Amino acid sequence: MSTLRSAPLKLFICTSITQKVGKPAEIAKLCALVETIDRTAEAHGATTSCGFREEGWKGMEDPALYVPRDFKWVRECDAAILIPEDSWGVRLELGALAILEKPMLRLYEGDTDYKTGVESETGLGQLTRIFDRVFHSLEDVEQHVKEFIDFLRSLKDHAR
């Protein structure tokens, strides 16, 4: 048995805040969601990259700055966690992640009928593993993230 620890999993947290600008309650809710994902990932040996966090919990105005940064994270990550909502940016990143065959966990809040927003994305599941999960609480988010990390670890273990 090797005494070397495997490198931590790198997770890209992909979310949009464009429609939340000027809505402090929505920003706070999204902040709590990202922080929960961060804590859960760290507790299970993963690191995260997230523009929303890097930007100090507000949006960056200039795409020339954040698009290259985010695409770098897409290339470097092992997998991604997406909070899709209605965002072209998240959809573009979803496409790039699928092309690069990165597994994804998409989190949908509450009674969201996530299937209505993904008809055009059904073929992406042929490129990579995509898990769609609905959450009603931050505890649900923790559980979904833990299960996703366990899945990713099993992939890494199987590849050895």
Domains of the chain and any CATH numbers: 9-159 (3.40.50.450)
Query: How many C-beta atoms surround the C-beta of residue 51 within 10 A?
Result: 23
Statement: residue 160 has pLDDT above 70: no
| pTM (whole model) above 0.75 | yes
**pLDDT attached to residue 4:** 44
* pLDDT: which is higher, 37 or 22: 37
**pLDDT mean over 21-45:** 93
**pLDDT attached to residue 155:** 85
- The residues, any chain, with a CB within 8 Å of residue 90's CB and separated by 6 or more, are 14, 15, 16, 82, 83, 84
Decide the pairing of beta strands 79-83 and 9-15. parallel
